[in-house]
Structures are given as C-alpha cells and as structure tokens.
C-alpha cells in the first residue's frame, strides 16, 4: 500500500500533463471470450490453430531465441570474468508468452511471464478482454491490448528484472514506447516517449509504475546524477 500511495502522488502531475493526449484514445469496447486463457503468442487470428504463416513465424522466432541465448551466455560469462563492464541493462532472453483475461468493474490482475498488471475496482466500467504479451529478447518489455484503452483509475504495472545483469547503481524506470520513429531513448527500433511515475524496489528486483492507458512498456536505465 505504501508504494502505491507514493506512486499515486507522483501520478497527479503526469495525469494533468497527459490529459490532452489521452482524450483521443479509443473508448473501451465490450469484451467477449474466455474468462481466463493462456494462448499461443503466434496465434494472431485467435482461432486456436497456427496457420502456415504463423508456424513459419514461430520457427524463425525459435531460431532467434536460440541465438539470443548464446549471446546472453557469452555476455554473462564476460561480465563475470571482468572482461567487459556491464554498462546497460541486459537480460536473459525469455520466450514469448501471451495471456488473455476478461476483467470488469470489480478489477483483477493478469500475469504474463514475470510481470504483473493489477487493475483496481472502478478502473473499468464494463468487462474488457485484456491481452498481455512478453516480447522476448534482451530487454524487459511487455505489450498490452486493446491499444488505447483508458482507465478511470490508475493501474499498477510491476516489471521484474530478476533475470537481468545491471550496471553499477542504476536507476530503473518503466518507459512507454512506440515502434514509430520519434524522439526519445531508443530501445532497438523503438523510442521511449513517456516515463510514467515509477518506483524501483531493489530488494525485490522489480519496478512498479502507474499508468492510465495501454501501450508497450519496457524498463529503461538512468544513471544517478551527482
């Protein structure tokens, strides 16, 4: 409760500044589907079976994952031996995961991989089918759908970095990113366009952030300034 109160205080200024940007987001749509379901991250059409294109995408992703695992092991070994410094947040690759859950006005939570989204009572006015997906790769990121969904009350996103190697004394924050070109701190081919109020818990190796809308979120590193 203490961390949520701290985050709630931080959120006030962010909500005022971001109110205009949220005004044009899509309204909440009625939901349909299962109450709770773990679905394939490659089943894009949601029919329960993988098409030839989806199977091909899964095969390519598996090869990429195996390559990322090799690179991660080499990086971890080099850092441990002191051959290279850990200058940025780099994490053990995780396989893609997708969770789908219907959440209504009473609130609820959805967990995907090591991350958790908590939606309080009153944040939604009707039932909505929410999808959460871990993207995989060396970064810590997660995507939520439906994109543009706006909450009446802020929701809490907890992102874990237990599987990561950190630089010395980093400050970690949750960044809201877009795949479009733009200004901001780049993560691969993405740009961080917003930093919602975040609170790092170094004992639990996680960062909590409050947000009032859906998009893609990733952990970004900020070195402390003296």
Q: Which two tokens stand for residue 56?
A: 């091909």
Segments forming the whole domain that contains residue 71: 2-222
pLDDT digits (tens, 9 = 90+) for 82-101: 877 666 788 888 888 889 99
The reported pTM is 0.68
| In the predicted structure, residue 21 carries a pLDDT above the cut 70 | no
- Whether the pLDDT of residue 79 is over 70: the answer is yes
> In the chain, pLDDT over 90 holds for what percent of residues?
27
User: Which pLDDT value is given to residue 158?
Assistant: 96
Q: Which residues, 6 or more positions from 115, have their beta carbon under 8 angstroms from its beta carbon? A: 132, 134, 142, 157, 158, 159, 160
Count of the separate structural domains present in the chain:
1
Measured in Å, how far apart are the chain's first and last C-alpha atoms? 30
What tens digit of pLDDT does each residue of 112-157 get? 989 999 999 999 999 999 999 987 777 888 989 998 899 999 999 9
pLDDT of residue 152: 94
């Amino acid at each position: 409760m203490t961390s949520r109160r701290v985050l709630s205080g931080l959120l006030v200024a962010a909500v005022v500044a971001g109110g205009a940007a949220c005004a044009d987001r899509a309204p909440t749509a009625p939901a349909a589907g299962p109450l709770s379901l773990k679905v394939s991250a490659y089943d894009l059409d949601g029919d329960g079976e993988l098409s030839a294109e989806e199977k091909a995408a899964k095969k390519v992703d598996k090869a990429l994952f195996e390559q990322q695992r090799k690179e991660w092991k080499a990086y971890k070994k080099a850092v441990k031996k002191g051959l290279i410094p850990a200058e940025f947040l780099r994490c053990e690759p995780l396989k893609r995961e997708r969770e789908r859950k219907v959440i209504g006005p009473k609130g609820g939570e959805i967990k995907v991989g090591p991350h958790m989204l908590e939606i309080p009572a009153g944040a939604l006015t009707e039932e909505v089918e929410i999808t959460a997906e871990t993207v995989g790769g060396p970064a810590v990121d997660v995507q939520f759908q439906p994109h543009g969904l706006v909450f009446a009350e802020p929701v809490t996103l907890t992102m874990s970095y237990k599987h990561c190697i950190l630089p010395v004394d980093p400050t970690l924050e949750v960044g809201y990113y877009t795949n479009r070109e733009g200004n901001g701190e780049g993560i691969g081919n993405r740009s961080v366009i917003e930093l919602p109020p975040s609170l790092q818990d170094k004992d639990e190796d996680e960062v909590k952030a409050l947000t009032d809308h859906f998009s893609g979120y990733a952990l970004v590193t900020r070195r402390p300034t003296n």
